[in-house]
Amino acid sequence: MTTPRTMFDKIWDAHVVQARADGTALLYVDRHMAHEGSHHAFRDLAARGLGVRRPRQNFATADHYVPTTGRRAADAASPEIAGMIETFDRNMAVTGITAFPLGDPRQGIVHVIGPELGITLPGLVIACGDSHTSTHGAFGAFAFGIGQSEMTHVLATQTLWQTRPKTMRISVTGRLAAGVSAKDVILAIIARVGAGGAVEHVIEYAGATIRAQGLEARLTICNMSIEAGARAGMIAPDDAVYTYLEGRDFAPRGALFAQAVAAWRHLPSDPGAAFDREVALDVAGLAPMVTWGTSPEDGVAITERVPDPDTLAGADERESARRALDYMGLVPGTPLEGLAIDRVFIGSCTNARLSDLRAAAAVLRGSRARVPVLVVPGSTAVKRQAEAEGLDRVFIAAGCDWREAGCSMCVGMNGDLVAAGERCVSTSNRNFPGRQGKGARTHLASPAMAAAAAVTGRLTDVRRLLGGA
């Protein structure tokens, strides 16, 4: 009998081009994705006189710098930002990579369009110059973020030197209550494991609760693996994944698709496979989550209060928490529910898919937002689908700003910024100081919770609006 292997082991082993005695391996990269922020890599490649070795295995989209108010480079917030979009178009033209530029119906946030277009497939090694590449693991791929030097290496060789990560399985059980979603689950996981808790590990999410999640919810969970420090996150593929992928632009077709599915069925971790670490979480009693501080690990139930740094264990942790509260303008002991906010952002590769927009619209329907709300679909395709089912009209009737697809206020590179001192409830993934703009105060939450905050102008337990708690 062969030793039982984890899904990660199976994918890794199948991609080793060369294994070194010291444990490092030259790993084959099936698919690589880039965006306009990747300009250093294309510059390096050109400076070395190199081309893209396997153009058909490389894809690129414009997302980080694109305007959300229009679809031309000229709509950008500044000539400098417009220049980034034009540089991208020029780079793509000379490299022969399949690109989805601004204005293309397939354009969108790289981690949203990968699955949509069938670029993301089970069993693949996928790399992208962006830390949230962990998202693609939701379909059973080993997908991780890389820097620009590594990008240059992939473009030129379709391989990467990698140190083998350790494995961690997080088993989630318990039925989620109404108003509680995948975002709350992953915030609870990060609060438990810590922002650096999964460093040097690949996480496999397992358990009945994960299996019961729809594909978009799985993408949300894997997306934030990096916020626990993990190299990647992954979930075993199943029929829902195969059904979703069949017929997508870049997925195999016909008999080849059937062959692929037959191979994919062998991917899930074998019974008895050993993980370096095991974590178990019961989410039956989980309340909607919200972050109070400046690390994604600072998530607590909306029913709780701003914690007191003095109760923390280490001196450095106490000092870091004090600084976070100072930055956030919060006093220990303040109830989180009821905290007045200045704006809401519904978007990002974490929570801007159709199901996210539906969840937000369900709360906003028939209400007026009390604060400015920016709704930015994750891709042009998501935007079209949302408009086909009338979600745009719900948002507009509620007074929200309905925009074009891109990263937008998740990182503010395109000029969609939160002003200094403003408190923003955001469905994105990072509440780091300055992430949404210099001095911006970010509270991470689910789409439903963000919509609830929009309706009341305060941090609000969405279960109240749904007639629950």
Residues within window 129-148 making contact with ligand SF4, judged by CB under 6 A: 130, 132
346 binds ligand SF4 (CB under 6 A): no
Considering only residues 45 to 74 of the shown chain, the ones binding ligand SF4 according to CB under 6 A are 63-64
Number of chain residues interacting with ligand SF4 (CB under 6 A):
13
The count of other CB atoms within 10 Å of the CB of residue 263 is 12
Share of the chain residues as helix, strand and coil, in percent rounded to the nearest 5: 40, 20, 45
Q: Nearest approach, Cβ of 4 to other proteins (angstroms)?
A: 21
Q: How many CA atoms lie within 13 A of 159 on its CB side?
A: 12
Q: 253 phi and psi, to 5 degrees? A: -120, 160
Q: Which stretch binds other proteins (CB under 8 A): 196-204, 235-243, 272-280, 366-374?
A: 196-204
Strands in 110-218 per DSSP E: 125-128, 142-145, 159-163, 166-173, 201-206
Give the nearer residue to ligand SF4 in terms of CB position, either 25 or 33.
33
Tell which positions 219-278 bind ligand SF4, by CB under 6 A: none
- CA separation for the pair 430, 363 (Å, rounded): 23
- Helices (H) then strands (E): counts for the chain: 16, 19
With CB cut-offs between 5 and 8 Å by kind, which of ligand SF4, other proteins, none does residue 243 bind?
A: none
Stretch that binds ligand SF4, among 6-14, 71-79, 407-415, 452-460 (CB under 6 A): 407-415
d(CA 105, CA 460): 36
Contact 203, 225 (CB under 8 A): yes
Q: How many residues does the chain have?
A: 469
Stretch that binds ligand SF4, among 310-318, 384-392, 406-414, 446-454 (CB under 6 A): 406-414
Least Å distance, CB 347 to ligand SF4, is 7
Cβ proximity to other proteins, 175 vs 438, nearer residue: 438
* CB nearer to other proteins: pick between 123 and 179: 123
Using CB under 8 A as the binding criterion, the count of chain residues that bind other proteins stands at 80
Burial class (CB in 10 A: 0-12, 13-18, 19+), 8: buried
Q: Alpha-carbon distance 390 to 393, whole Å?
A: 5
Binding mask 217-256 for other proteins (x = CB under 8 A): ---------xx-xxx------------------xxxx--x
Q: Does 276 bind other proteins (CB under 8 A)?
A: no
**How far is residue 127 from each of residues 75, 142, 291, 311, 456, measured CA to CA in Å?**
30, 9, 29, 41, 41
Under the binding rule (CB under 6 A), the answer on residue 371 touching ligand SF4 is no
Among 5, 71, 89, 148, binds other proteins (CB under 8 A): 148
Chain positions contacting ligand SF4, by CB under 6 A: 63-64, 109, 111, 130, 132, 348-349, 407, 410-411, 428-429
